[in-house]
Amino acid sequence: MQPTIRWMAALLLPALVATGTLIGAPKAADKDIDKTTDKMAKAGSVVGNVMNVYEDKKKIRIQVSYSIPKLNTGAYQQMIQAQRNMAMARDRQAYINAQTSYAQAQRTLYTNETKTKDLEIQAADDVVVRMARPKEDFDEKGKPKRYTKKELAELRGTDKKLPGYKAEFGDITTEQIIKIDLVRKKGTPPKPKKARGKDKDEAAEADLLGDFTPQASMIVIIREAAPPPK
């Protein structure tokens, strides 16, 4: 059961997009990425809160939020009753009242339920790390330093197609909000084989997706961790 869940989670990973604001690379940057990754295909993007960073393995665990539709049973019953009232209406006003009740219930037939999920994402060897704002620096008096246009240009780097400013994987810390662009090997991932008997334990340890597992091609630090309360 566990390997099946991991297999499905990896396939659904690109669909889990957090409810926060997304900051993406310009279209030109996306085209540039396509040219340099002939054997890789885009696999979506995800935004989440950093829960843990495994720097030695170049892996990140993030928590993402996503919404799923949930049936409002009260509104559903109201719609059924309104349909009955329309069929039994003896005058125009009664029919209009039932029709209005039906329309009101229809607007609230589904509500969005927000859920969270932890995901572990492996960074590609050539992952690009950027930050929405330049690193904070201080002058000799301990006050935040104001960068000049020249300094900001240097912090952005020579590739103007990339978003934000230069950063390293080591700049990623817990409680940051980050956006991760995902890629995976082109082609169709293999279907998991049904294991029997003792093979089930071995299958539980197997990486069912292998090279098709989505990896981080670009990580953008959108927001730094909130300072601890004083």
Q: pLDDT at position 176, please?
A: 94
Q: Which residue has the higher pLDDT, 15 or 86?
A: 86
Helix, strand, coil percent values for the chain (each to nearest 5): 35, 30, 35
| 146 lies in some domain | yes
pLDDT digits 0-9 by tens, 170-226: 999 999 999 999 988 887 766 666 656 555 544 444 444 566 788 999 999 999 987
Q: pLDDT at position 190, please?
A: 65
- Residues 81 and 183 placed together within one structural domain of the fold: no
Nearest to 110 by CA among 66, 74, 81: 74
Answer yes or no: are the C-beta atoms of 135 and 164 closer than 8 Å.
no
Answer yes or no: are the C-beta atoms of 69 and 76 closer than 8 Å.
no
Q: pLDDT at position 14, please?
A: 44
Per-residue pLDDT band for 103 (boundaries 50, 70, 90) equals very high
Q: pLDDT at position 219, please?
A: 96
| 229 lies in some domain | no
The count of C-alpha atoms lying within 13 angstroms of the C-alpha of 67, restricted to the half-sphere facing its C-beta, is 9
19 vs 179: CA distance, rounded Å: 12
pLDDT digits 0-9 by tens, 1-50: 444 434 334 444 444 443 333 333 334 344 444 444 568 888 889 999 99
- Residues 155 and 43 placed together within one structural domain of the fold: yes
Q: Is the pLDDT of residue 90 over 90?
A: yes
- Residues 43 and 58 placed together within one structural domain of the fold: yes
Question: What letters, b where the CB count within 10 A reaches 16 and e where it falls short, cover 127-158?
Answer: bbbbbbebeeeeeeeeeeeeeeeeeeeebbee
Q: pLDDT at position 48, please?
A: 94
122 vs 134: CA distance, rounded Å: 25
Q: Is the pLDDT of residue 100 over 70?
A: yes
Q: How far is CA 216 from CA 37, 61, 97, 131, 192, in A?
A: 13, 12, 55, 15, 23
Nearest to 183 by CA among 8, 7, 13, 5: 13
- What is the extent of the structural domain holding 94? 73-108
- Residues 81 and 45 placed together within one structural domain of the fold: no
pLDDT digits 0-9 by tens, 117-130: 999 999 999 999 99
- Residues 210 and 121 placed together within one structural domain of the fold: yes
Per-residue pLDDT band for 77 (boundaries 50, 70, 90) equals very high
- Residues 192 and 118 placed together within one structural domain of the fold: yes
- Residues 61 and 130 placed together within one structural domain of the fold: yes
Answer yes or no: are the C-beta atoms of 168 and 129 closer than 8 Å.
yes
Q: Which residue has the higher pLDDT, 28 or 227?
A: 227
Q: pLDDT at position 144, please?
A: 83
Angle at 135 between CA 129 and CA 140, to 5 degrees: 155
Collapse the DSSP code of 204 into the 3-class scheme (helix H, G, I; strand E, B; otherwise coil) and give the result.
helix
